[in-house]
């Protein structure tokens, strides 16, 4: 892979130190609400049901934090009075003794490509800045049916096509651990509002890593579900064959709870013993370009999990680099015009594809997507061949890798580096002290394969570097193996050091 080779050897920085004592899940410190209740989804929902706090009090906490954290530029639209009204209605429901959903009264923010009645749905792009949907996306409705209240719309890369959440129209989102650094993308706003403890959870979308990388950069857990497991209607598309909606939260338990609601699969997920669990440890692709901080942390994680009884199989996935090279970019853009045209018409936006394309404001997004705005026969034929022949080959290769090695999953660093400092909007970064042209592409080096083979990928927080920046590890599983990935994730998280909230 040409970009991968160019970046080899460019990174140089000091490594972080893993905290010596793992914290049990129940002891993970979180910024409390104004009532002193830990600000996690599970704890807050339980406290509201028990009458220890109210939905309105939780909403007031969010409103206060939105105002104090404006510097993060992580929110596109917010309606404090509307949030209060939703919360007050939730409290009245409880007072009437009605049945309460598992998310009753919990405020959750949506990435601004997910439709919610009462809010604009911009997709982060100028042509849709006045788009006010007439109905909810299915994922939004499922949250509401579970009792959640919608806490606003989070900033994002334009059309979900970038990796830094530097949006020329709606602002440049900041990493809550260090505001000079990026939060990742394209769900960087969703990650920043959760990482900054503004809301206990948010939804993002992931096409090549847009949930998992921001989760890793902002000290969170984030899940990309198996492709098509969660409905995508009412979500502004980038590539429907790869787009997936999923949750970001401070704990794997919260992610598992929300995932069950989004996928209408609420079977309880419980942690399991790690003894005898077999995980692949491929080096090719996944351990390219590792910075010293991430490399040392990942080695320490592997050592820690080995002591917990995990059996690691150090074997590469055959031909993975070549297969990713053939499939990655063309599957991002090949059907963009078709998918977007269908969305614009079906959701009655009043915007044509031509108008949307002409108004793309981010030069990085326009730079890579330009050939796909009016694709010629060569691109269309290549796309058809990749979808018919190469993508199935990639999936078979991955499934065979798991089966042949009797693996429960694959483990690797979510991102090969910690969050960088953006030099310009064109994707050049300073990463751990080194200037890297096109460094933003490192965001999807490790997350991209899962979005191609379509299986679940869970990013788990693994502490901070010595510079105070979060590091994440990712667990991928077989297609449809989401519940098992989450169960293993609970146990892996419990063995990890606590990732503290931003100072």
DSSP letter string, 77-110:
E--HHHHHHHHHHHHHHHHTT----TTTT-EEEE
pLDDT in tens, 322-350: 999 999 999 999 999 999 999 999 999 99
Mean model confidence pLDDT for the chain? 93
Query: Could you give phi then psi for residue 237, rounded to 5 degrees?
Result: -85, 155
Instruction: Considering the candidates 77, 164, 186, 491, report the single residue annotated as catalytic.
Output: 186
Is this model's pTM higher than 0.85 or not? yes
| 400 is annotated as an active-site residue | no
Q: What pLDDT was estimated at residue 34?
A: 60
Q: Is 433 left (phi over 0), alpha (psi -120 to 50) or beta?
A: left
Q: Are strands 311-313 and 278-280 parallel, antiparallel or unpaired?
A: parallel
Q: What pLDDT was estimated at residue 33?
A: 64
| Bridge partner list, 380 | none
pLDDT in tens, 490-500: 999 999 988 99
Q: What pLDDT was estimated at residue 29?
A: 35
Instruction: Considering the candidates 33, 111, 153, 459, report the single residue annotated as catalytic.
Output: 111
Instruction: Considering the candidates 210, 241, 291, 459, report the single residue annotated as catalytic.
Output: 210
| 186 is annotated as an active-site residue | yes
> What is the CATH topology of the domain spanning 2-273+287-495?
Amidase signature (AS) enzymes (3.90.1300)
Q: Is 263 helix (H, G, I), strand (E, B) or coil?
A: coil
**Residue 25 reports pLDDT greater than 50:** no
pLDDT in tens, 146-192: 999 999 999 999 999 999 999 999 999 999 999 999 999 999 999 99
Query: Environment class of residue 485 by beta-carbon count within 10 Å: exposed (0-12), middle (13-18) or buried (19+)?
Result: buried
**Residue 74 reports pLDDT greater than 70:** yes
Q: What pLDDT was estimated at residue 449?
A: 94
**Residue 11 reports pLDDT greater than 80:** no
Query: Could you give phi then psi for residue 40, rounded to 5 degrees?
Result: -115, 160
Sorted by where each begins, the domain ranges of the chain are 2-273+287-495
pLDDT in tens, 233-259: 999 999 999 999 999 999 999 999 999
Q: How far, in Å, are 408, 413, 455 from residue 478 at the CA level?
A: 8, 18, 6
**Residue 122 reports pLDDT greater than 70:** yes
What confidence category does residue 37 fall into, taking pLDDT thresholds of 50, 70 and 90? Answer: confident
Q: What pLDDT was estimated at residue 198?
A: 97
| Bridge partner list, 107 | 149
Q: What pLDDT was estimated at residue 13?
A: 38
Q: What pLDDT was estimated at residue 9?
A: 44
What confidence category does residue 267 fall into, taking pLDDT thresholds of 50, 70 and 90? Answer: confident
Q: Cβ(429)–Cβ(420) under 8 Å? A: yes
Q: What pLDDT was estimated at residue 38?
A: 86
Q: Return the percentage of the chain with pLDDT > 90, whole number.
A: 91
Dihedral (CA of 117, 120, 124, 128) sign: positive
Q: Among 34, 49, 118, which residue's Cα sits nearest to residue 83?
A: 118
Q: Are strands 75-77 and 221-224 parallel, antiparallel or unpaired?
A: unpaired
Q: What pLDDT was estimated at residue 268?
A: 87
Burial 239-270 (b: 16+ CB within 10 A, else e): bbbbbbbbbbbbbbbbbbbbbbbbbeeeeebe
Question: CA 52: distance to chain centroid?
Answer: 31
**Residue 408 reports pLDDT greater than 90:** yes
Dihedral (CA of 164, 220, 265, 393) sign: positive
Cβ count near 339 (within 10 Å): 18
Q: What pLDDT was estimated at residue 17?
A: 34
**Residue 27 reports pLDDT greater than 60:** no
DSSP 8-state secondary structure symbol assigned to residue 127: G
DSSP 8-state secondary structure symbol assigned to residue 317: P
């Amino acid at each position: 892979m040409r970009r991968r080779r160019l970046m080899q050897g460019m990174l140089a920085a000091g490594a972080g130190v893993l905290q010596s004592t793992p914290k049990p899940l129940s002891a993970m410190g979180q910024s409390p609400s104004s009532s002193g209740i830990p600000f996690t989804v599970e704890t807050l929902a339980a406290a509201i049901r028990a009458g220890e706090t109210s939905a309105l009090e939780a909403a007031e906490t969010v409103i206060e934090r939105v105002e104090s954290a404006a510097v993060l530029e992580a929110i596109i639209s917010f309606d404090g009075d509307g949030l209060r009204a939703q919360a007050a209605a939730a409290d009245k429901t409880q007072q009437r003794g009605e049945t309460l959903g598992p998310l009753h009264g919990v405020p959750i923010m949506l990435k601004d490509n997910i439709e919610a009645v009462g809010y604009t749905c911009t997709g982060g792009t100028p042509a849709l800045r006045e788009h006010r949907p007439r109905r909810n996306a299915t994922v939004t409705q499922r949250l509401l049916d579970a009792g959640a209240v919608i806490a606003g719309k989070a900033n994002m890369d334009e059309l979900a096509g970038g990796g830094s959440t530097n949006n020329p129209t709606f602002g440049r989102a900041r990493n809550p651990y260090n505001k000079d650094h990026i939060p990742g993308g394209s769900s960087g706003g969703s990650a920043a509002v959760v990482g900054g403890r503004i809301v206990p959870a948010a939804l993002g979308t992931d096409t090549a890593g847009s949930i998992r990388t921001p989760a890793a950069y902002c000290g969170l857990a984030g899940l990309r579900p198996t492709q098509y497991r969660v409905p995508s209607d009412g979500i502004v598309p980038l590539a429907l064959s790869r787009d997936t909606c999923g949750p970001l939260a401070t704990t794997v338990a919260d992610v598992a709870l929300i995932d069950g609601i989004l996928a209408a699969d609420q079977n309880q997920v419980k942690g399991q013993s790690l003894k005898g669990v077999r995980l692949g440890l491929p080096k090719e692709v996944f351990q390219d370009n590792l910075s010293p901080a991430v490399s040392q942390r990942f080695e320490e994680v592997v050592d820690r999990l080995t002591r917990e009884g995990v059996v690691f199989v150090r074997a590469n996935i055959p031909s993975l680099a070549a297969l990713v090279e053939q499939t990655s970019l063309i599957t991002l853009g090949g059907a963009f015009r078709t998918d977007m045209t269908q969305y614009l018409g079906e959701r009655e936006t009043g915007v044509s594809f031509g108008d949307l394309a002409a108004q793309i404001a981010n030069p990085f997004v326009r730079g890579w997507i330009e050939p796909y705005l009016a694709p010629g026969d060569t691109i269309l034929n290549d796309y058809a061949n990749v979808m018919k022949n190469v993508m199935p080959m990639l999936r078979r290769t991955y499934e065979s890798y798991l089966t042949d090695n009797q693996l429960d999953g694959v483990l690797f660093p979510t991102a090969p580096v910690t969050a960088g400092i953006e030099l310009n909007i064109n994707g050049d970064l300073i990463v751990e002290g080194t200037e890297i042209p096109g460094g933003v592409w490192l965001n999807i080096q490790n997350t991209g394969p899962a979005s191609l083979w379509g299986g679940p990928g869970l990013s788990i927080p693994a502490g901070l570097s010595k510079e105070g920046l979060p590091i994440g590890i990712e667990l991928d599983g077989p297609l449809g193996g989401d519940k098992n990935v989450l169960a293993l994730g609970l146990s892996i998280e419990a063995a990890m050091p606590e990732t503290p909230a931003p100072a």
